[in-house]
Amino acid sequence: MIFQFLEKREAADLSLLEPESATLEERLSDEKITIKQLPEAQPDDAFISVKQKSLSKSQIEKVNHLSNQDAAIADDKYIISHFKKTSASIRG
């Protein structure tokens, strides 16, 4: 859930850095994306849906061996993690 939130926040931050010279319709046309009807306005709120899952032993091992972060697992359901180095270019 935190990973999804961070991805969503990063996507929102990156969109602020992109030049706004082209309209949404122009960008969609450039990418050959067609949508039957675009909404008049974008909603102000974002929605993230989550479903709780217990982590398997192999998933816990993978989390415990991540190279750029210190992580702990609580109740086989929660990952508590701290990045050793933060950077927008780190993926995975």
Please check the confidence at residue 41 and state whether its pLDDT lies above 70.
yes
Does residue 57 belong to any structural domain of this protein?
yes
**pLDDT per residue over 60-76, tens digit each?**
888 888 888 888 888 88
Parent domain of 76: 53-85
Does residue 21 belong to any structural domain of this protein?
no
The residue count for the chain: 92
Three-class DSSP category at 57: helix
Does residue 69 belong to any structural domain of this protein?
yes
32: left (phi over 0), alpha (psi -120 to 50) or beta: left
User: Which residue carries 């969609």 as its tokens?
Assistant: 28
Does residue 64 belong to any structural domain of this protein?
yes
pLDDT top residue among 55 and 1 = 55
Query: Which pTM was predicted?
Result: 0.37
Helices assigned H by DSSP within 1-92: 2-17, 24-30, 57-64
Three-class DSSP category at 2: helix
At 53 the pLDDT is 87
Does residue 29 belong to any structural domain of this protein?
no
Does residue 16 belong to any structural domain of this protein?
no
At 36 the pLDDT is 76
At 58 the pLDDT is 92
At 69 the pLDDT is 86
Read off the amino acid at residue 61. E
| Count of structural domains, the chain | 1
Does residue 80 belong to any structural domain of this protein?
yes
